[in-house]
Structure 1
């Protein structure tokens, strides 16, 4: 098949960009900028921010000490690629070129494409940031938090807000409370043959149980803030803030490494919560679970969501015994090995198997799955059955 001249030229251009180097055909305009930007990170060159121009030298350069140069480099990346690709390139730059150091510069923060991973990095660096940079970092984090709240808040609120009382019915149900079999049966005379569907004139649904404050379920999110769990901390903080705004549950947030940080009082401001966590350090899960155990008011109405990779730096025997005691007292214990977009965690398989043998569900889930998980937990449904339906692989008790 003959190839149109324009198509052939575009293919040759893309090949030159992929191969890189000092091709004279690329020494013009945007193509040259794009080639240089990629070469700085993935090919031979001086690296963004290094002195002496862009991309002509040999060897793997570093970032140098020029934040404005790095900011210009990131600006080029943002111009030529969509946001998901920009975020991948930024993560590569963090790993390959030590970009974290440059995040301490205000000029740098103005150029980055913010995402959950960047938020985690900024939180981990906040104690070494100059005051001016910290103020900009807070703005960046607030922007990402607002985006996440917009994405996750409505679904979480609908999933968590009140248990459904199936003994009482209403003709004005919320959409999620409609009893579809009874609604269809009640509206069969409104069947439309040309559309092969029923147009319901009357809805039949379930009423929600009105619950007094003393009857509220209690949700305790106990989150490992060691470095490997950073994205999980960000998402858990968002969900805790959303649930704390609902009048149907009492929500507590506890973060831990070898120390314990109770952030429950800050849940009205998720940005403040994130600036309160201490990413990095060791791990003492047993101590943290012990703290949560002492904060639980009514075991039969309490749900402990322990978010950790179960790499215990403390007393694992005591941890298993403590979790067994909580389960025996009626607490609904669930262990999430990760709460992240990837949903593929590294974890301690031996301790995970021992915890699973207590009848505790142990698995990882994504942020989009978490609201449905909480709905299943609050209804005291079989969480392992829910996970199987959601195609989530849980840890087996004999692992």
Structure 2
């Protein structure tokens, strides 16, 4: 890198005003700097202490700024700047304007903000807000659905193994050969299949019940978005019976909306308190096959209900055979804030409590379906 290029980059980072670089920006560099200044040059103590910057006080001016940002920065950077603009410059109210919603770069964080505002949205902004949420949901489904179906489909097939296949088409020849290698006859160059291994792939019986219980407090917005998409994907697998429950101080069963994750998300209500104990009590009422049930509690575990009752309920569920997993977050936002005492108490009951990224969730569910040890996931995500 030349000295000129190095100074240019430092100039863009530092923002001018006697930054010591002596560099002058022109053309696209100057326009990039202007876009950065409007956002990051407006806070006291920021970017040389300059004042008077900002995005203006109207949706059209913000929309023009977003257009400039998309022109000069890659999409991941656009999303970061967009999030910073909403938080630093208090532009939340402008999201009520359709002009603003049409201009933003949709992402999970924006969806969370819109869900928290959707009861306040004027009629003229509702359609734009729903379109933004639908775009994000469709993108997540494209990215996550195939891998989820593949991982869980394989796990469900493996749980259906039987030593007595009814027809040759049900035999898994690869697994059968591996299971009978000790019966190999070299003189005949063949394996004697003493034990057949087959998958019941054509069976339509429900093999596992999955209950997703999702905390809808404001800090769990991204997790709610991902959980809704995963819930819709899981519900599409015939071998699973999937329920989705959201909760704050009340409990709402959104299972009927699993076919439409956008409608499901708009049925949630972000914000408010948290009563995990009440939510777990409701989920316990849905359990009729404990050994074949997986309860995934997505929550930061800050309990506003009765903590002792919560732990007792979870202890009874695990003792009955239910696989209980506590996800402190289902997102890619990094290490979340959570109640460490409650997480430790759950771990003492044999319930793993850890944050999980969306990319790891399919493998986690496959392991739970097969009753495998989940410790590797705990170690990977803590």
Pairing of 1:235-384 with structure 2 (within 5 A): 235-384=226-375
Q: Structure 1 pair 178/154, CA: closer, same or farther in 2 (3 Å)?
A: farther
- The Cα of 1:149 is off from its aligned counterpart by 0.3
Tell me, yes or no, if the aligned pair for 1:178 and 1:206 is still in contact at 8 Å.
no
Tell me, yes or no, if the aligned pair for 2:42 and 2:54 is still in contact at 8 Å.
no
Secondary structure of the structure 2 residue equivalent to 1:283: coil
Question: Of residues 383, 387, 393 in structure 1, which corresponds to 2:377?
Answer: 387
Tell me, yes or no, if the aligned pair for 1:341 and 1:367 is still in contact at 8 Å.
yes
Determine the C-alpha separation between the residues in 2 that align with 1:237 and 1:344: 21
Off by >6 Å, runs of 4+ in structure 1: 169-175
- The Cα of 1:205 is off from its aligned counterpart by 8.4
Tell me, yes or no, if the aligned pair for 2:55 and 2:61 is still in contact at 8 Å.
no
| Comparing 343-352 and 368-377, the one that deviates more | 343-352
Matched, 1:16 2:11: yes
Determine the C-alpha separation between the residues in 2 that align with 1:341 and 1:108: 26
Name the TM-score, length of structure 2 as normaliser: 0.85
Determine the C-alpha separation between the residues in 2 that align with 1:350 and 1:371: 28
Tell me, yes or no, if the aligned pair for 1:286 and 1:314 is still in contact at 8 Å.
yes
Matched, 1:142 2:134: yes
Matched, 1:43 2:41: yes
Q: Structure 1 pair 41/210, CA: closer, same or farther in 2 (3 Å)?
A: same
Q: Structure 1 pair 338/173, CA: closer, same or farther in 2 (3 Å)?
A: farther
Matched, 1:80 2:93: no
Q: Structure 1 pair 315/18, CA: closer, same or farther in 2 (3 Å)?
A: same
Question: Of residues 28, 31, 34 in structure 2, which corresponds to 1:30?
Answer: 28
| Comparing 73-82 and 93-102, the one that deviates more | 93-102
Secondary structure of the structure 1 residue equivalent to 2:244: strand
Secondary structure of the structure 2 residue equivalent to 1:163: helix
Tell me, yes or no, if the aligned pair for 2:149 and 2:233 is still in contact at 8 Å.
yes
Q: Which residue of 1 aligns with 2:192?
A: none
Matched, 1:106 2:98: yes
Secondary structure of the structure 2 residue equivalent to 1:92: helix
Q: Which residue of 1 aligns with 2:146?
A: 154
Question: Of residues 100, 108, 111 in structure 2, which corresponds to 1:119?
Answer: 111
What do the CA deviations read for 1:36-87 (whole angstroms, capped 9, x no partner)?
Answer: 11011112589xxxxxxxx9x9526555421111111111111111111111
User: Alignment length, in residue pairs?
Assistant: 357
What do the CA deviations read for 1:283-339 (whole angstroms, capped 9, x no partner)?
Answer: 000001111111222222111111111100010011001111111111111111110
- The Cα of 1:30 is off from its aligned counterpart by 2.6
Tell me, yes or no, if the aligned pair for 1:221 and 1:253 is still in contact at 8 Å.
yes
Tell me, yes or no, if the aligned pair for 1:224 and 1:307 is still in contact at 8 Å.
yes
Secondary structure of the structure 2 residue equivalent to 1:240: helix
Question: Of residues 117, 125, 133 in structure 2, which corresponds to 1:133?
Answer: 125
Matched, 1:68 2:64: no
Tell me, yes or no, if the aligned pair for 1:103 and 1:109 is still in contact at 8 Å.
yes
Q: Structure 1 pair 318/60, CA: closer, same or farther in 2 (3 Å)?
A: farther
Q: Which structure is richer in relative contact order (CA contacts within 8 A, separation 6 or more)?
A: 2
RMSD: 3.0
Determine the C-alpha separation between the residues in 1 that align with 2:224 and 2:69: 28
What do the CA deviations read for 1:341-362 (whole angstroms, capped 9, x no partner)?
Answer: 1341111111111111111111
- The Cα of 1:133 is off from its aligned counterpart by 1.1
Q: Structure 1 pair 63/315, CA: closer, same or farther in 2 (3 Å)?
A: farther
Structure 1 runs not aligned, ≥5 long: 47-54, 186-203, 394-399
Tell me, yes or no, if the aligned pair for 2:55 and 2:65 is still in contact at 8 Å.
no
Q: Structure 1 pair 326/66, CA: closer, same or farther in 2 (3 Å)?
A: same
| Comparing 135-144 and 99-108, the one that deviates more | 99-108
Q: Which residue of 2 aligns with 1:193?
A: none
Q: Structure 1 pair 315/174, CA: closer, same or farther in 2 (3 Å)?
A: farther
- The Cα of 1:209 is off from its aligned counterpart by 4.6
Determine the C-alpha separation between the residues in 1 that align with 2:112 and 2:100: 16
Structure 2 runs not aligned, ≥5 long: 182-195
Secondary structure of the structure 2 residue equivalent to 1:207: coil
- The Cα of 1:9 is off from its aligned counterpart by 4.6
